[in-house]
Structure formats: C-alpha cells, structure tokens
Amino acid sequence: MLSNLAIQAVSVLTGGDNSTTPLSLGASGPQPGFLGTLNQALQSVSNTQNQATTAEAGFSAGVPGATLAKALVASDRAEVAWNATVGVRNELVSAYQSIMNMQF
C-alpha cells in the first residue's frame, strides 16, 4: 500500500498520468490529489490503530469471540502501519531537506 502511495505521490508531483498507478485504499472513482491520498493513508493507519485498541479492550473485558490471537494480530498490524508511516514521513523530510539544500 505504501509503495502505491509513493508512486501516487511522485505521479502527482511530476504531473504524470494517474491511470497507470491505481491506488487501492478502498476508494473508487477518480484518483484524489496528493493531499487527499495522504489523508486517506493516515485515516487508514488511524482505523488500524482503533481496531487494535478495540480488539485489545475486548479481550481484556472477556468479550465472547475476542481472543488473544486476534488482539495480538491487530496490534501487530497497527504497529507495522505506524512504523511504515513514520518511515514514509522520514523519507519525505529527507527529500524536502535535500531539495532545500540545492543551490540554483
């Protein structure tokens, strides 16, 4: 998903055609711009974290059907999504700093 996000970002920034790089974030129809894509990705990470919190709370409360395995898998998914988000942020900051340090 994040590689698609990166491709989408590069395509938007360079003015390329978005039709060859579909972004599968659950939205259908026309492709959103860079900020819309970024917002969707952050919403997806937030939803993943909320699902993990709900699964952990359900297990702690003894909700029927809530298992430790489900809570751990949801927690791991949220952690991976967060780490990927931080990695993308770090790369964007690095790219921004590189551009700002260029002499024209």
CA nearest neighbour of 38 among 77, 69, 73, 10: 10
CB contact set of 74 (below 8 Å; sequence gap of 6+): 48, 51, 52, 54, 55, 56
Query: What integer pLDDT is reported at residue 99 of this predicted model?
Result: 94
Domain count, the chain: 1
Residue 86 domain boundaries: 2-13+33-100
Task: List the chain residues with pLDDT less than 50.
Answer: 1-3, 9-10, 12-25
Query: What integer pLDDT is reported at residue 12 of this predicted model?
Result: 47
pTM of the model: 0.65
Q: Is residue 47 part of a domain?
A: yes
Contact between 9 and 32 (Cβ < 8 Å): no
Q: Is residue 48 part of a domain?
A: yes
Query: What integer pLDDT is reported at residue 84 of this predicted model?
Result: 95
